[in-house]
Copies of this chain bind each other. A is one copy, B any other.
Amino acid sequence: MTPLETGSRFRHTARIMDTSKFNTAITSTKPDEILLRGYPIEQLMGNVDFGQAVYLLFRGELPSAKVGRLMTAMLVSSIDHGPAAPSVNGARLSASTGAPLNACVAAGILNINRFHGGAIEDCAIAILEITKRAEAESIGLDVATENVLNEYRQRKFRVAGFGHRLHQADPRTPRLFALAEEAGVCGKFIETCKLIEAGLSKQLGKRLPINVDGAIGAVLLELGFETELMNGFFMIARVPGLIAQSHEETTREKKMRKIIPGTHAYDGPAKRDVQTD
């Protein structure tokens, strides 16, 4: 550990407590008036979808309906992935001990960390590094990608957001990129994400396709999101899954059972198509 590394831990420590008033730029509440980033909440209700509302909260402005649709599609893409995900496993485990619903959700949320859900943010950071490098050194994105991947390899770092335990061709990734194109938000970040995929395939001699986390990271960069908020995006998406799975555990399973991840079977409705009109 170098001084830089240990020292960096001390930056903000132990400031004197401060009792002054504080400001918020998110929500204004007065008797009979609630404004979200300035918009009366009753005007938002029924007129924006949830993706637009989340964008408004995080970025400060209402996006177009197309961008809202893209935001919502990303939320839907991560709403659930079955009982084996560590966040769901944790929520079911809590449910199994008799925990109330909010404790199950909290336990699940506490499992969304670097190694689960964190790939969105980590992939975005890698993409950002490449695009900044390209700009700083006036080189192409392709060269910058190659250089950064080589450096990572030497340092034995892995880029998050590529490859999946289960999926070879994750159906969510192409769908998400198609919706991004429809919304007109395809730029250098998505391009770089695809360059990383190609570079990793070359480097490793096998295809390591962009997974849904990597794709979301790239799209959120296109939409101007700060990387610090990206794990939060995954939490918003996954909470409905945590609740539905905890509730299923409580209502269908014996208490205190031994929960083995991956031993479940699916007994829900057979495959069926979404009817759009």
Contacts and interface: CB of A to CB of B under 8 A. Distances in A.
Interface residues of A, number: 164
A122 interface: yes
B50 A7 contact: no
A127 B18 CA distance: 29
B47 A276 contact: yes
A57 B41 CA distance: 26
B29 A82 contact: yes
A266 B25 contact: yes
Contact of A46 (B34, B69, B168): B69
Contacts of A176: 45
Given A240-B57, A263-B22, A34 B171 contact: yes
A103 B105 contact: no
Copies of the polypeptide in the assembly: 4
Nearest to A259: B261
Contacts of A54: 79, 240
Interface in A220-277: 228-229, 231-232, 235-236, 239-241, 243-245, 247-248, 250, 252-274, 276
- The residue in A8, A13, A112, A245 that gathers the most chain B C-beta atoms within 10 A of its C-beta is A13
A99 interface: yes
B102 A76 contact: no
B94 A118 contact: no
A264 B21 contact: yes
B94 A110 contact: yes
B93 A89 contact: yes
A201 interface: no
Chain A to chain B: the 6 pairs with minimum beta-carbon distance, closest first: A38-B269, A25-B268, A50-B50, A28-B266, A98-B114, A232-B243
